[in-house]
Structures are given as C-alpha cells and as structure tokens.
Structure 1
C-alpha cells in the first residue's frame, strides 16, 4: 500500500527521535503534521522535511494542555482530512537525583507531559481513527519503562504508565482496525540524552549505578525511526499492544 496520501502526526517533532522520524515519514511518502512546544526547532524540522521533497505543516502545542491537543488534531484534519499514523512521542527526562529531593512541581511536570500528554493525544486521535476504521498509534515509552534506572524513579514511573496505557488501549481497539503499540528507546543520542550528562556535571550528582552499553555504542535517532516506520506500516499488521525495545539490549 502506497503512503502517498497517508498522513502522520508526530509530537515532539522538533528534535531527536521526533525529528528523525518526521524526516523518515516524509522520505516514505507520508504528509507530516509536526507538533512541538518549541516553534524554532519545529520550523527547522519542517524545512528539513521540505528539503526531502516532503509535505507538512507545523503546529505549536503543549501536549499537556487539552485545548492544544484538540487544536493540533483539528488542524491535521482541516489540512489533510485524515490521520493514518500518530507518533505520540513528546516527553521530557528527569534530572538524576535522590528520590526524596525530587520537587513536587518536577513530579507534576514529568507526569503532565509524559503521561497526560500521551493520554490526551490518544484520546482525540482514536476518535478520528474510529471514524476512519483504521489507524496506527505508536507511543514513545522508554527502556526505563521496562527496567527502571537508578535515581530517575519518577521518569521510570511515567514511562511504565505509558506502557500500561498502550497495552490497555490496544485491547480495546484491536478489533476496530486501530493498532496501538509502543517503542522503548534506550541510550539514544538525542538533545534530551545529552542534557543528562550536562546535568550531572552541573549538580555533581552521579547515580550509584549506570546502565551498561553492551553494544559498545549509543543508538542513533534514525534507528528508532526505522522501528516506528515499521509499526506505522501494514508490515506490522498483526502487532497490537506490542512493546518494542530499541535499546541495544539495555533491558535484557
């Protein structure tokens, strides 16, 4: 099946995995709706998509705000009439810190974006896909959603929640033509990943345990993008509720 008239919505499209996947979708014929809180980086991704001969629009949004989510869904429909693929990807990381020092506001910020943002995106996209009778949703969880990392318990909890929501919703909609799966990246070189090292230098706090990188290298955003593209396509037609790790064996 050609992707020529298919539409993919990507949140967190301004950088890292979101940007790499947006470009990958464009290269494969999808029209892309780019969503990010950062207008500058979001517009940069749009230019990169257009440079590849792709078609798309950018919409600024805070994924934790219901009206912003409704707006990016509405804009996608107004522009392209449909949503075939939803890469529900926007998320933030937690600073490494002892559990008792985590500020309540930091906890709420992580849960708002990483859990509520995923929930709201799914809530409104599923309504569109139900009318279409078809669609693929890919949520971004994390290797930390399978095996928690030291000193980021709140982040780990938020990504466990994403996995739970993915599996729960997948059961509900598997017989309605809507496939819901999740990717669990781990150790991918993104701006988010780089900020972790910078934060450790700033605070001087280093966790007692750090994950082993068994492959001897970190992953590239494009490697996650390939997995997302597969889950978006009909090649994964019998996959629903699957939690796909792209982590170089981090969780094994």
Structure 2
C-alpha cells in the first residue's frame, strides 16, 4: 500500500520498483482515501465558509495531497505543445510558462466550479478521485517503460476495475452519513452507484482518447504525460457525475 501512495500522491515515501509492480491493486485504497478527504473537506469547510470557500479548500488539499503531479504533468504537456519542433528554425526556446499556467488554471477553475456545483450531492466528491486514480493506473498499460513504472498485469487490471466498482457502494453510505435526513435515501443511494458506473465508463473513454492523442502528438507517454492523464481523469469524472445529477 505504501508504494501505491508513494507513486500516486505527493506523500514522502520512497517506493520499490518491484513492490509497486505487485501492489497496484492498492490503487483503489488510494482513491477511497482521497475521496473521503475530498468529502470531509467539503463538509467541514462548507459549513464554515460556504460552498465557494469549500471548493477552494478542496482544490488546495487535492493539489497538496497529489504533490501537484497531475498539474505539473499537464503544464509540461502545455509547454511541449507551444515549443517549436525544429530547433534550427527557432534555436532559442520560447517562454511557455504563461501558456502552461493558463492551462492548469483553466482546469482548476473548471474543477472548482463543478465542486461548488456538487455541494448538494456530496457523495460525488467521494466518487471522482476514486475513478480518477483507478483510470490513471489502468492506462499505464503500454507506456510503463517510458513512465519508469512496471505495468499492471491483466489480473491486476481486472482487480482494480472490480474493486473500484465495489467501492462505489460506499457512496450511499457516506451520503447518508453527511446527509442523514433526506427523502428517498435508498433510491438516492442507488442513483449514486449508477452515476458512478456511468462516470467510470465515460472517464475511461475520455482518458483513453487523451492518452492516444498524447502518443500521436509526442510519440510516447512519459511520466509527465501519464500524470496529465490523472488530471484529465479527475476532470472527466467530475464532469460526467455533475452532468448526470443535473
């Protein structure tokens, strides 16, 4: 488990290459912990400062917990896109910091808006990072050597997806815990699970398309590009969830 947290979060921990190769199934545990953190921050800060303050705190915690890896990956991709491909034409590297920062800020603002929009359906904030981490690890397939990580086996892929689907069953429980008085609680719970399943499928499709575009554009998917898949997966999961509820 420590290896999975070390690779997927910014928590200080040196991971072993062989250990993480055998421990990818703990990805789901990382997603569950992050989902509980998202939900807890939204509930605690939201009751004190309102939904907008809660959304800001949520994004800050998200960036800190992940060590800003998805955001840095997205920024690196943005920088590569704005570089001249032929150094003979443009020997001096252009200043691309502004473009990279703009891309990251746009993603964070979109996530902030959707997090604020999700204040009335708090269990969505548990589901989104759970889906994001699982999709990111499954899509390590085919690019592990360039990323510098061992790829999950077919059995681990199956286990990650199955455990992610099973973990969606925690959403109704958490929803009841934070919103104990609500009509049709059981129906709402079922709706959360169905919404999570649809969001998982949508996120896979979007993230696969993003990985394919990265490979077509740059010829490979390195560590930065792989972490950018995590950022896209988080955003896609939130978008898919909010789109269904509203």
Q: TM-score, normalised by structure 2?
A: 0.34
- Structure label with greater radius of gyration: 2
Query: In proportion to residue count, which structure has more helix?
Result: 2
